[in-house]
A and B are shown apart, each in its own frame.
Chain A
Amino acid sequence: MKEIVIISGKGGTGKTSLAAALAFLSGQEAIIADCDVDAADMHLLLSPDFGQAEDFYSGQLAIINNESCISCDLCRQKCRFDAIDTDGRSYNVNAINCEGCGYCARICPVDAITMKDQCAGEFYISRTRISSTLVHAKLAAGAENSGKLVAKVKKEARKLAEVKNKKYVIADGSPGIGCPVISSLSGADFVIIVTEPSVSGIHDLKRVYELVRKFDIRASCIINKYDINPDITARILEYIDSVSVMHLCNIPYSSSFTRAITQGLTVMENGYTEIEMLIEAAWDKIRKSINN
């Protein structure tokens, strides 16, 4: 089983549209994993049934029992996150600021502080409208620990791929270079970086590739909307060549992406033959490279 991860550095370059297109092409050969847990959108194109759902617990929150509190103020003084406030009479925890480190609970002389496990989101295993399996999740609004939820999604997707004897896990990652991205890259076999020819696109591509380099993963690149700025497209091609990143394809600026999203379809299903052919050819290249 091989794991393919799609990332971009910059948001909105077309990761999810392309991941869904590859999910469509791979059909029964892949388990699909939506690792962009704090803005998961893959389900909007694959209509999963949310067949199995469970709560995801991660992290803690301090709770102060003001009946036992003796107002010694120690917790407020020790908290590095400005999470404990007092009005002089009672002490309260600011849930937004609390990191769940538990330092306050450990040092409270009268044990007035307890740490409560937090539900950080939901996790699902679904059957999609194209009969494949989608592992996905929803991070609770404003929750921490997105990296851990990504790790959970990946672990379950891998497990299912082994059990069901699938050839691939196709994982849609999140933008950026921080913990959820690092978590989605760990253990992957092949990464597709989706970029666009803009000053931001090439800047973010270079940063995310610097991250990918720290892992031992084969890297490839799709340039979306390549015709928006031919000069920068040429610069991207030069850059990826210089760092031996495989070029998969150039996709033109096209209304097919927005149209497909609006219809709840992948770009392989709404009749834009040129786009379909480009992505099919890219999928062939990916399979050849990965099975080599």
Chain B
Amino acid sequence: MTTKLQHDIVKIAIASGKGGTGKTTLATNLAVYLSAYRDIILADLDVEEPNSGLFIRAEKVFEDTRYKMMPSWIEESCTFCGLCQDVCNFNAVLNLGRHILVYPELCHSCYACSEMCPGSALPMQKHRMGELKHYRNDNLDFIESRLDIGQEQAVPLIAQALKYAVQISDEKSIMILDAPPGTSCPVIETTKDADKVILVTEPTPFGLHDLKLAVEAMEKLGKEYVVVLNRFGTGNNAVEQYCENSDIRIIAVIPDNRKVAEFYSQGLLVHDKLDDFRESLDRIKDYILE
């Protein structure tokens, strides 16, 4: 059920098919820049490699461990009927005759084995998957979620971080979601409830190819999306041609500048250092507030 509150927040996801095109640079600079005008919530949902926190200076106000629910076996209650293994579509439960094995990395927490077990021998229990931290600096709330190393599934943690971000928001907030690279399930989880999606790309055949994949995913989700073209001036003009032919808006270009890479390498924001970068941010701000 969507509450009225959730409707009123503007959620902007920053995504890209290809990695390293400037998602985090854009998300962090945009969040800090916009926080001069509005209440901003920045959520780093690239839980496998969260980097936004390296650029945000703020005070930690909350932190906790995040869990997913998984069945745990109680030997005394088990009749070894094998139903648990039969109902699991992910091969996460194995009936060895005298022992039931649960593979945490394969379990999707659907509860089928647990709730259908005739002897209630597979109660659901918490299983650690990562952490969530909440930082604040004036008008900026920053949420970082971090997957434990060795955990395979990013999606449940992304879902929890998003839920947390919605809980702390009010109707005037603008939420900026820093997505992971790619076009598979973690990106879908990040973008599926966004109002607008900004796809960051670069003017190379890799940038173009992966942009097309991201566009395909956004079309499938029925999202409103636009493009920001980073490192403009390198490569070729095929991304611009593609966008023109496909009626995709390029809302801003960010000129290629080694200085941006150097500031970025040091963990520094550039919105207050480079004029043309700030002009690009202004164009993106106009789009967000449209």
Contact = CB atoms under 8 A, between A and B. Distances in A.
11 contacts: A9-B49, A100-B89, A101-B89, A142-B183, A146-B184, A174-B182, A177-B147, A199-B51, A199-B54, A229-B266, A253-B261
Contact of A39 (B17, B149, B192, B265): B17
Contacts of B251: none
Interface in A261-285: 261-262, 264
A258 B48 CA distance: 27
Contacts of A44: 205-206, 209
Contacts of A198: 261, 264-267
B230 to A, nearest CB: 10
Contacts of B19: 8, 10-13, 39, 175
Interface in A182-241: 182, 196-201, 203-204, 207-208, 210-211, 214, 225, 228-229, 232
A172 B235 CA distance: 22
A41 B18 contact: yes
B235 to A, nearest CB: 5
B74 interface: no
Contacts of B261: 198, 225, 228, 253
A142 B48 contact: no
Interface in B36-72: 46, 48-49, 51, 54-55
A204 B24 CA distance: 13
Contacts of A12: 18-21, 181
A179 B152 contact: yes
Interface of A: 8-13, 16, 38-39, 41, 44, 60, 78, 80-81, 96-97, 99-103, 106-107, 115, 139, 141-144, 146-147, 174-182, 196-201, 203-204, 207-208, 210-211, 214, 225, 228-229, 232, 253, 255, 258, 261-262, 264
A101 B199 CA distance: 31
B48 A176 contact: yes
**Closest 6 CB pairs between A and B?**
A12-B20, A11-B19, A101-B110, A198-B265, A176-B48, A199-B267
A141 B213 contact: yes
Contacts of B235: 258, 261-262
B221 interface: yes
Contacts of B8: none
B144 to A, nearest CB: 12
Interface SS, B side = loop
Nearest to B185: A144
Interface stretch (B111-119, B131-139, B274-282): B111-119
B234 interface: yes
Nearest to B17: A39
A177 B152 CA distance: 8
Given A41-B210, A142-B221, A200-B24, A262 B112 contact: no
Interface in B1-35: 17-21, 24
B153 to A, nearest CB: 7
Contacts of A204: 49, 51
Given A144-B184, A176-B49, A204-B51, 16 more contacts: A12-B20, A39-B181, A39-B182, A78-B115, A80-B109, A96-B220, A100-B89, A141-B183, A142-B185, A197-B265, A199-B55, A199-B266, A200-B54, A225-B261, A261-B204, A262-B204
Contacts of A199: 51, 54-55, 265-267
Nearest to B159: A81
B20 A38 contact: no
B200 to A, nearest CB: 11
B205 A261 contact: yes
Contacts of A100: 89
B197 to A, nearest CB: 13
A178 B186 contact: yes
A135 B19 CA distance: 21
Given A39-B17, A203-B54, A178 B116 contact: no
Contact of B153 (A81, A179, A210): A179
Nearest to A233: B265
Interface string B200-225: 00001110011001001101110000
B152 A96 contact: no
